[in-house]
Structure 1
Amino acid sequence: MKKILALLLIAGFMGCSKPQGFEYRSIRNFKIDKLGFDKTSVSLELVYFNPNNFGVALKHIDCDVYVDHIFVGKYLLDTTMQIPKKAEFYIPSKMDVDMKNLYKNTLNAIFATDVLLELRGNTRVGKAGIFVNVPFNYSTRQKLDFF
């Protein structure tokens, strides 16, 4: 009986794996809500993929956003979302962009066809009421479609 109990405990621990971080895919529905010299309000949807073999609850996101290595703003989300297993999902996002930092790279941005977009931070994900912090560091080239 003790051997059976030990095998069940080992199988249970092996089945409970730590959630993997989400994979960044792209941005969609980018919109400028309010244009300003100091700050500009933007809204967009971030597209991610859940590589886990199980659905998880996303409880919190806290990240810094960089364009071409220049800090442009902070994004916070404090809404619980249910994320299905092995599926793409969208996170609606609104943030204020610090325009002073973007002005430093204006000339490069005008002539560039894409920019380096970086998201660095933490997210809180879990299942069955047990949540863990999962750090992330996404970096991708984002195509600009101004013209």
Structure 2
Amino acid sequence: MIYKYLSIILIILYGCKPIEPVNFIEITDAKINRSKNNELFISAQIILENPNKVKITINKVDVDIYVENTVIVSIEDDNPRELIESAESTLDIEGEVNLKNLEDFLNKKGLAIILGNDDVSLKFIGKIEAKAYGIKDEININYTIDSIKGLIK
């Protein structure tokens, strides 16, 4: 009888595998959009891979978007979302452009960009907080889009 319980416990422990960290893949579909109120927004999709056989809950997205070392967008999203098990998932993010910081940047490099002599990169830096079974994990984001040409819609 003891061997029966011991074998059941061993099977359960063998079948339980620790939660693996979620992998950041890339950022795609970045766009600069204008709203009806003449506000500027940057939207993008963050691609994450969940290697686990359980759903992972995203609790917080905290990402800053930089143009040449100037923060132009700060995204703080606390809406919970789920990553499906053993698959890639997409998180849609959007944030309003800080017009004062954008103006400061354009005062420095705007003419060179307009004349086509210079190109600008967008850098996404931040973290995403994920949780499964009460175990928290942080996914670090550090991704650069080398050229903003073609992003303005």
Q: TM-score, normalised by structure 1?
A: 0.72
- The structure 1 residue matched to 2:49, chosen from 41, 48, 51, is 51
* Equivalent residue in structure 2 for 1:18, among 12, 20, 28: 20
Structure 1 counterpart SS, 2:142: strand
Which runs of no fewer than 5 residues in structure 2 stay unpaired? none
Aligned pairs for 1:13-92 within 5 A: 15-33=17-35, 34-35=37-38, 40-44=39-43, 46-54=44-52, 55-84=55-84, 85-92=86-93
Higher Rg of the two aligned structures: 2
Change (3 A) 1:69 1:25: same
What's the % identity of the aligned pairs? 14
Number of aligned residue pairs: 140
* TM-score, normalised relative to structure 2: 0.70
Q: Which of the residues 99, 102, 109 maps onto 1:105?
A: 109
In the aligned structure 2, how far is the partner of 1:113 from the partner of 1:87?
35
Deviations 1:48-86 (A, max 9, x none): 222222342211011221113332231111101112242
Rounded Cα–Cα distance in structure 2 between residues aligned with 1:135 and 1:10: 30
RMSD: 3.1
Query: Is contact 1:114–1:142 with CA below 8 Å preserved after alignment?
Result: yes
Amino acid at match of 1:49: I
Q: Which runs of 5+ in 1 are unaligned?
A: none
CA distance in 2, matches of 1:118, 1:92: 14
